[in-house]
Structure 1
Amino acid sequence: MNRLNDKVTIITGGARGMGASHARLFVEEGAKVMIADILESEGQALAQELGENAKFIKLDVTKEENWKEAVAVAEGAFGPVNVLVNNAGISVNKSIEETTEEEYRRIIDINQVSVFLGMKAVISSMKKSDGGSIVNISSINGIVGGAIGYTDSKFAVRGMTKAAALGLAHYGIRANSVHPGVIETPMIAQEDSKDVVNDFAKYIPNKRVAKPEEVSSLVLYLASDESSYSTGSEFVVDGGLTAQ
């Protein structure tokens, strides 16, 4: 269908889970995708699977220099960046009393600081194409409460997205946040999370956990020109969970 025909895209956390789902759909829709992750073997395997319009780059999203390199590699391979999907994230299912400062700072660095660094890094490249779309993956925990650290960072992503949308609109760069509910990904399969998730799924109005592809369809819309008048907004995909 080529809804993203020749759009150069960087997807963080792209080696597996939702990120891999986004990468697959984007390539199907004509995009040229840089799969950015610290998981080298999985990322390289996915890039090989997806063919010539996908490449892998190892990216520590918490490092500004890594981001500069990722943008330069994307430009060298495909041209100026049109789309950034800030998808990388972690969660630790601990109470505030159990969470250490080191754990807290790691969550904030990966979930929050990385989004700032990514947005900052792509601006000059997007300006070369007279605009672009930034899609920041937050969570329903960027709207309602949840685990300490994770909730904090996802609220921040929601706020940063609005600030960036206002600050970058004059460049033709849009920024929106996506707020998934409970999605079938490796993150929720963690031993410290899966029992909680399975119990929680019973309270979702749609009575099920979502597939990553259901989030990818929304991310595709926001990355495409179809959403050209949408910026600074949050888009919820949660099976009705936050409507209760």
Structure 2
Amino acid sequence: MRGLNGKVAIVTGGARSIGAAVVREFMLEGASVTIADILVEEGAALAAKLGDKVHFAPTDLRSDEQLQICVDQTVEKFGRIDFLINAAATYHDKGFDSSRADWTFTFDVNLFGGVVLFQKAYPYLAQSGAAAVVNFSSESAHAAQAKRWVYPCTKSAIEELTRSQALDVAKDNIRVNAVIPGWTWSTPIQKAHDQDPDFVNGLAAQFHMNGRIGTAEEVARAVLFLCSTDASLITGSMLPVDGGHAALGPQGTLELSPPQ
């Protein structure tokens, strides 16, 4: 993809799963990356494995101080910031039983941390000349889900945030978009079904037109596209990366008509 080589990205949640796939894909395109994550051992190990073009900054998204340190370290090591990828998220959600503290914690991680990081990285993004921010929404933002109240609300808020951010920073040549992953082979699904991927694909076949679950690398490449100059006219948009899930009606891929 054009416009990525030699650039610098910060990826929150980059220590594992989809975030780690984003880090690797940036590396393949010649970019340098800071992994901003609370998972110290995994983040440090990934950075050490990938080499000098990857830096790990221990970052709790609830800490303004740590977010500032992440930005400062990135500029000190790589000299610039061109891309900000807000991939980190918590699935802390008790539905009806969620307390005020539960709501505050989840919004702090899923939404507020990315906002503050953008504020702190903004001066450097504005100097880039072709900067991009990619937020992570979810199909959870678009449909009711049993026993999940908090997480879907954070993702709905991210989509409105993305539109407003895009408008306000367009004058600085900063584009802001979001991806909407469908069922993706990632940490939560691995924990539940690591021993039986065929079962997961069987479920996904009901909701994905292409009949399978997505991979972290497929989501990562969509993120990189939105950062590349190939997407120079795209801003304020939500890009589904979901095997056609969003285009399906309530019956999914099931054939309800009797055979002819």
Asked if TM exceeds 0.5, the reply is yes
Deviation at 1:79, TM superposition (A): 1.1
Aligned partner of 1:141: which letter? S
Is 2:173 the partner of 1:156?
Answer: no
Aligned partner of 1:223: which letter? C
Task: Using the aligned pairs only, state the percent identity.
Answer: 34
Partners of 1:100 and 1:231 lie apart in 2 by 35
Residue 214 of structure 2: aligned partner: 210
- Stretches of structure 2 that go unaligned for 5 or more consecutive residues are 249-260
Partners of 2:188 and 2:60 lie apart in 1 by 18
Indicate if the aligned counterparts of 2:4 and 2:29 stay in contact, CA closer than 8 A.
Answer: yes
Indicate if the aligned counterparts of 1:115 and 1:157 stay in contact, CA closer than 8 A.
Answer: no
Larger radius of gyration: 2
Provide Cα deviations, 1:153-202, integer angstroms capped at 9, x if missing partner: 0011111010000000001111001000111111233459x99x948524
- 1:1-244 matches, cutoff 5 A: 4-92=4-92, 94=94, 96-146=95-145, 147-191=148-192, 198=200, 200-204=203-207, 205-244=209-248
Deviation at 1:105, TM superposition (A): 1.8
Indicate if the aligned counterparts of 1:142 and 1:157 stay in contact, CA closer than 8 A.
Answer: no
Deviation at 1:207, TM superposition (A): 2.5
Partners of 2:203 and 2:152 lie apart in 1 by 16
Indicate if the aligned counterparts of 2:15 and 2:39 stay in contact, CA closer than 8 A.
Answer: yes
Give SS of 2:91's match: coil
Aligned partner of 1:28: which letter? L
Indicate if the aligned counterparts of 2:96 and 2:149 stay in contact, CA closer than 8 A.
Answer: no
Query: TM-score, normalization: structure 2?
Result: 0.86
Deviation at 1:108, TM superposition (A): 1.1
Deviation at 1:51, TM superposition (A): 1.1
**Number of aligned pairs?**
241
Query: TM-score, normalization: structure 1?
Result: 0.92
Indicate if the aligned counterparts of 1:38 and 1:58 stay in contact, CA closer than 8 A.
Answer: yes
Give SS of 1:177's match: strand
Partners of 1:90 and 1:207 lie apart in 2 by 27
Indicate if the aligned counterparts of 2:2 and 2:228 stay in contact, CA closer than 8 A.
Answer: no
Partners of 1:207 and 1:98 lie apart in 2 by 35
Provide Cα deviations, 1:192-224, integer angstroms capped at 9, x if missing partner: 9x99x9485242232221110010110010111
Deviation at 1:93, TM superposition (A): 5.5
